Amino acid sequence: MAVISDHCPDIDVTLVDKDKIKIEAWNSEDLSKLPIFEPGLKGVVRRNRGKNLFFSCEIEEAIKEADMIFISVNTPTKIKGLGAGYASDLKWVESSARLVAEYSEGHTIVVEKSTVPVRTAELIQEILGNTKKEIHTKNKKTYSVISSPEFLAEGTAIKDLENPDRVLIGGSDKIAVNLLKEIYSRWISTDKILLTNVWSSELSKLIANAFLAQRVSSINSISALCESTGADIHEVVKAIGSDKRIGEKFLSPGPGFGGSCFKKDILNLVYLCRHYKLEETASYWEQVLFINDWQKQRISSLIIEKFFGTVSNKKILILGFAFKCNTNDTRESPSIRITKDLIENGAKLFINDPKVKKKQIEKELNIKEFELDELSLGSWSFASNIENYSEDIDAIIILTEWPEYLAINWEKISSKMRRPAWIFDTRNIIAEKIVNKLDINYWQIGKTR
């Protein structure tokens, strides 16, 4: 939305949320206090806030004034009730639609931006009431519901929005579709704006994420095979990625995919397939999640095995808690599962992340800093400075590929570690020539040493 305000000075963009603290943070004078960290975001907010970009809790007023409303709420996996564990919880979409139905005036275009199961537009339309024939009657509320899913990735959000591979608009109301197309076309070439029916648009969003996640699970499954056979995962990626039909993107092996979307969207896809009695399709996609869980589990197990079956009382420095670099988001981060496993096995962890705060780690692990795990006596504490925490440690585990970690003086740090010492590099960020100089045990994903 902020990027729309940047490119369309004649359009007022108002972002509303009932969470006062969040809105206060978005309005904060100090731009480092914005609720999310995203490269380039501060600049966009600085340029437009107060001009044509507003953050507000006045939801009713904003709905009344709006010609176009983007529903961009969370659609987490349901934890209770029908479809629990798989289906997306649409309660926020539904309550947003109810607010729009109550407070909107005249004709309103409602854009489904949240990732939703196929046919959610139908639900929104039903809540709003289809009163299209009264479109020109004064004071009558009328609506057009269209879909325009978001394909940005965290960490590169502004770049992705500025220069997307494509934009999707799904809907049957040509006027509404063209109005949104006109907005996007201010900075995106029209051949990248794809028009589809509303269901194709909703489904394409789920499928794009499922295909991306599938590539990560595929390469992660092969990383294990490389470790067993002596093949090198990077050579394999290069060899297969050079085939233009396969392509080289999204083939970096790692500790498993995280983030708020891949797992949720695949679970949703699986639920949808089962709903339509397509069991084979459902279990095919479920395997992508199975491999992802297995990868995390496999990494914690192999770390424990390298210490001859016990990490009890071992001091381990964890580098990275965010699910990937350039974000402070920790949702579904592979670091959660791996660090929990190690704590449960008695390890004393020092966790570092350049952007994730101590409180956030505490929330994700559900274990307070310094608190001892009752059964294993494992614990964790926050390591703000890597060098200070490297004295006498037994292992370093790289879990997020932060650029900051590339600048680490590995020779210096590894010399302070207690022998036998290990570095586990699940993102393959340390260059081969540096590793060769280190007098240390080194494990890298997808390679044998």
Which residue's CB is nearer to ligand UGA, number 129 or number 403? 403
| Cα 52 to Cα 25, 220, 262, 374, 400, distances in angstroms | 18, 45, 33, 54, 36
Residue 261 is a catalytic residue: yes
Which residue's CB is nearer to ligand UGA, number 104 or number 326? 326
The DSSP symbol for 9 reads: T
Q: Dmax over Cα atoms in the chain, in whole Å?
A: 80
User: Where does this chain touch ligand UGA (CB under 6 A) — which range of 176-184, 248-256, 309-317, 405-413?
Assistant: 248-256
User: Where does this chain touch ligand UGA (CB under 6 A) — which range of 66-74, 149-157, 297-305, 373-381?
Assistant: 149-157
Which is nearest to 261 in space by CA: 319, 313, 216, 197?
216
266 binds ligand UGA (CB under 6 A): no
CB of 135 to ligand UGA, least distance (A): 33
CB of 322 to ligand UGA, least distance (A): 9
CB of 253 to ligand UGA, least distance (A): 7
Phi-psi region of 55 (alpha: psi -120 to 50; beta: other; left: phi over 0): beta
Question: DSSP labels for 65-97?
Answer: H-SEEEE----PBP-SSTTTTTSB--HHHHHHH
Among the listed residues 258, 320, 354, 378, the single contact to ligand UGA using CB under 6 A: 258
151 binds ligand UGA (CB under 6 A): yes
328 binds ligand UGA (CB under 6 A): no
Helix (H, G, I), strand (E, B) or coil at 444: strand
CB of 154 to ligand UGA, least distance (A): 3
318 binds ligand UGA (CB under 6 A): no
Among the listed residues 252, 292, 330, 345, the single contact to ligand UGA using CB under 6 A: 252
Among the listed residues 121, 158, 210, 251, the single contact to ligand UGA using CB under 6 A: 251
DSSP alpha helix (H) spans, 185-323: 198-229, 233-241, 262-275, 279-306
Residue from 226, 261, 273, 325 carrying the catalytic annotation: 261
- HEC per residue, 377-423: CCEEEECCCCHHHCCCCCEEEECCCCHHHHCCCHHHHHHHCCCCCEE
CA–CA gap between residue 227 and residue 206 (Å, rounded): 32
| Cα 406 to Cα 322, 379, 413, 434, distances in angstroms | 16, 27, 13, 11
Among the listed residues 92, 199, 250, 294, the single contact to ligand UGA using CB under 6 A: 250
The length of the chain, given as a count of residues: 449
6 binds ligand UGA (CB under 6 A): no
311 binds ligand UGA (CB under 6 A): no
Which residue's CB is nearer to ligand UGA, number 365 or number 393? 365
107 binds ligand UGA (CB under 6 A): no
CB of 149 to ligand UGA, least distance (A): 8
Among the listed residues 8, 153, 194, 207, the single contact to ligand UGA using CB under 6 A: 153
Residue 104, token pair as written in the block:
């909107």
Helix (H, G, I), strand (E, B) or coil at 313: coil
Interactions with ligand UGA, residue window 170-229 (CB under 6 A): 209, 212, 216
**How many amino acids of this chain bind ligand UGA (CB under 6 A)?**
20
Helix (H, G, I), strand (E, B) or coil at 449: coil
Which is nearest to 266 in space by CA: 30, 341, 258, 369?
258
257 binds ligand UGA (CB under 6 A): yes
Helix (H, G, I), strand (E, B) or coil at 249: coil
User: Where does this chain touch ligand UGA (CB under 6 A) — which range of 84-92, 151-159, 180-188, 418-426?
Assistant: 151-159
CB of 275 to ligand UGA, least distance (A): 21
Q: Which residues have a catalytic role annotated?
A: 261
Residues near ligand UGA, by CB under 6 A: 115, 150-154, 209, 212, 216, 250-252, 254, 257-259, 261-262, 323-324
